[in-house]
Amino acid sequence: MLNIASLLIGAVALIFAVIAFLPLLGWANWLIIPLAIIGAVVGMLSSSNSGRNLNLFVILIGVVRLMLGGGII
């Protein structure tokens, strides 16, 4: 059950992360990364790894996007 919750949180964060790749929306990653961290913590509490891995991937995407935009753009 926790893995499903983690997957749902990760899916929502991934959708927002894809939208945040548009120019001038990079600031949204400051909101997406904490959401994905919460999903990763929920995923760590479950017996399966798929939810945790999805959220770690979303965190990686968000951090790379922030680095490309200089933290804001």
> What gap in Å lies between CA 49 and CA 68, rounded to an integer?
29
Segment 17-40, tens digit of pLDDT = 999 988 888 889 999 999 999 999
Q: Which value, to the nearest 10 degrees, does the dihedral of the CA atoms of residues 57, 60, 62, 65 take?
A: -130
Note the pLDDT of residue 24.
86
Note the pLDDT of residue 38.
96
pTM: 0.90
pLDDT tier, 73 (very low <50, low <70, confident <90, very high otherwise)? low
- DSSP letter, residue 21: T
> What gap in Å lies between CA 31 and CA 45, rounded to an integer?
22
